[in-house]
């Protein structure tokens, strides 16, 4: 589920029963985030020295200038950025997205070299996996919430960036700052702390996981999470899905074949009830697999049968 101004959301609820689908649609349609002036967390930037990072704007095509101007105007209208007279300035870059459009980003690499890291203690993957054992349904949310965390008034000067049209600085935490993930993680841990303590939500990095034993419990817990999100003015929800990542493109090709080995077909049958997609991920980025390998996992033998969500 992804809600942003000016965008139309497509939500696939075909896997739910009719009454559950109607309940979930009602919850989504009634979601009305409040305007919050004082957030519980803000980002304060500390640097190693007083020598400013000052860079010139990069040359871009006329077409890219229009894209930059449109994004700047939108951010100004929403109060995400403001005009700046800071001695700091970082250039911008347009990054291609999967749909062919371009995303405006700031190149903060030189600034990040001066920033003192925020060492927020993020959750261990082993602990997260342990908390999710025995639970079958998961909803995830938090995409786009990073613009809800304000930058401390004395630190906005460090976020200054420059374009062909002028200089601006962020009022809310942007992507690209080295401390942004830690600040955002602290933010969601603070606002969801009561639900986390009760085991109704699990936070890992920038994701809020809502685990449940069945769909009924999942809907009730989702209502609780969205209620907290409303109170804190969170305007964006991430699409509910279960991505499956693997480190071998051969697996993706195997799953597309008309005939697959019996063992793989059993796994395919188990996965067909879930909303997921297979993504390739290089082996160097699969470090979490080591943590998962130390947790008891589901093993399917050719003589095993899978019925009603359990293996016999």
For the chain, the helix, strand and coil percentages under 3-state DSSP, each to the nearest 5: 35, 20, 45
Mean pLDDT of all residues belonging to the chain:
76
Q: What is the pLDDT of residue 77?
A: 95
Q: Could you tell me the fold of the domain covering 18-232?
A: HIV Type 1 Reverse Transcriptase; Chain A, domain 1 (3.10.10)
Residue 97 to residue 99: CA distance in whole angstroms = 5
Q: Report residue 208's pLDDT band, with 50, 70 and 90 as the boundaries.
A: confident
pLDDT tens per residue, range 279-311: 666 766 666 666 555 555 444 444 444 444 444
Around Cβ 141, how many Cβ atoms within 10 Å?
24
Residue 153 to residue 171: CA distance in whole angstroms = 8
Provide CB contacts within 8 A for 267, sequence distance 6+: 300
pLDDT tens per residue, range 248-282: 455 555 555 556 566 666 666 666 555 556 666 67
- Between the ranges 24-38, 62-76, 93-107, 211-225, where is the mean pLDDT highest? 62-76
pLDDT tens per residue, range 150-179: 999 999 999 999 999 999 999 999 989 999
Class of residue 35 by CB neighbours under 10 A (exposed 0-12, middle 13-18, buried 19+):
exposed
Q: What is the pLDDT of residue 274?
A: 57
Give me the helices (H) in the chain, please: 18-29, 62-78, 109-112, 125-132, 180-191, 193-197, 215-231, 249-255, 262-271, 288-293
Mean pLDDT over 127-144 rounds to 67
Tracing tokens 């020598």 back to the chain, one arrives at: 51
Annotated domain spans of the chain: 18-232, 250-293
């Amino acid at each position: 589920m992804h809600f942003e101004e000016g965008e139309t959301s497509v939500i696939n609820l075909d896997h739910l029963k009719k009454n559950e689908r109607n309940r979930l649609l009602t919850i989504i349609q009634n979601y009305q985030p409040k305007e919050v002036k004082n957030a519980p967390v803000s980002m304060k930037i500390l640097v190693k020295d007083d020598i400013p990072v000052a860079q010139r704007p990069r040359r871009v095509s006329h077409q890219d200038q229009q894209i930059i101007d449109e994004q700047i105007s939108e951010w100004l209208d929403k109060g995400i950025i403001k005009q700046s007279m800071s001695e700091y300035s970082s250039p911008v870059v347009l990054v291609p997205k999967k749909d062919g459009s371009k995303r405006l980003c700031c190149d903060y690499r030189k600034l990040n070299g001066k920033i003192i890291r925020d060492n927020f203690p993020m959750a261990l993957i082993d602990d997260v996996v342990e908390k999710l054992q025995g639970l079958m349904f998961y909803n995830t949310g938090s995409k786009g919430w990073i613009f809800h965390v304000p930058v401390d008034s004395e630190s906005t000067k460090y976020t200054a960036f420059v374009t062909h049209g002028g200089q601006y600085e962020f009022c809310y935490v942007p992507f690209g700052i080295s401390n942004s993930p830690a600040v955002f993680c602290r933010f969601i841990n603070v606002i969801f702390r009561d639900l986390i303590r009760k085991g109704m939500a699990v936070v890992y990095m920038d994701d809020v996981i809502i685990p449940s034993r069945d769909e009924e419990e999942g809907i009730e817990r989702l209502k609780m999470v969205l209620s907290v999100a409303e109170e804190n003015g969170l305007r964006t929800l991430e699409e509910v899905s279960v991505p499956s990542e693997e480190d071998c493109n051969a697996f993706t090709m195997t799953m597309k074949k008309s005939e697959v080995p019996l063992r793989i077909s059993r796994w395919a049958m188990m996965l067909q009830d879930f909303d997921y997609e297979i993504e390739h991920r290089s082996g160097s980025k699969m470090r979490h697999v080591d943590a998962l390998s130390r947790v008891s996992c589901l093993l399917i033998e050719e003589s095993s049968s899978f019925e009603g969500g359990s293996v016999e």
